[in-house]
Amino acid sequence: MMSNAFVHRTWLKVRYYWKSLSFLQLLIRVLIDGCAKLGLRIEPYYLMAEGLSLGTSSGRGEDFAEYEFRFLEERDMKALAALPGRTPSEAELIQRLQEGKCCFGAFHQGEVVAFTWWNLTECLFESYPVFALQAHEAYVFDMYTVEAYRGNGIAPYLRYRCHQELAQLGRRYCYSITVVLNQPALRF
C-alpha cells in the first residue's frame, strides 16, 4: 500500500512537469523517477558555466523593494523543509549548512519565497562529485521558488543578488547543473 505522502509528492511532481513537458517527456520523466526509486539512477543533465556579471539587474530591483534578501540560518531550515513538494528533511538541510554550504533567500512578509544554495569547494550532482572548485569559483544549486511567486521574476533577481554576494567572496565564475527534462530551469 502506498503512503499518502508518496502519492502527494508524485502528484505535485506530475503537476509541476505537466505544465512544461510534452506527454512523451512526462512519461520519460516518470520512468526516470521510477528507476531511481528502484536504485537505478539515469539522469541526463547540462553543466552550465557563467561569469558573474554584475552590471544592472535589468531595472527590476524596485520590483522587489518589499522583499528581504539574506543568508538563511539553521533556524530557517524548518520552514524550507515544510515547503510543498520539497524532499530534503530539516536535518538534511541543517547538515548542508554544517558542511559549509550556504543558502541565500528572498523573504516576503516574513516568509521565505525563493532560495538557492551554493557550494564553494566542489561541484556535485546530487551527492556525486563532478569536480573540485578553485578559489574563484562557486557551484550554485537547488534554486527554488514557492509556487505562488513563480513567474514574477524573483528567481532571476535572486540569482543576480546571489552573484553580488559571491563576488564579495572573490568568486568570479559560477557553475550550475540543470536536468535535461526540467524545462522551467532550462528557461531560467
185 falls in which pLDDT band (50, 70, 90)? Answer: low
Q: Sorting pLDDT into bands at 50, 70 and 90, what band is 187?
A: low
How far is Cα 158 from Cα 42, in angstroms, rounded to an integer?
Answer: 30
* Contact (CB, 8 A) for 80 and 104: no
pTM here is 0.77
CB–CB of 163/52 below 8 Å?
Answer: yes
- Reply yes or no on whether the pLDDT at 164 is more than 60: yes
For residues 164 and 54, what is the distance between their CA atoms, to the nearest angstrom?
7
Average pLDDT over residues 9-26: 74
**C-beta separation of 157 from 64 below 8 A:** yes
Mean pLDDT over 152-179 rounds to 91
Taking the C-alpha atoms of residue 63 and residue 84, their distance in angstroms, rounded to an integer, is 25
52-56, 80-84, 156-160: lowest mean pLDDT where? 52-56
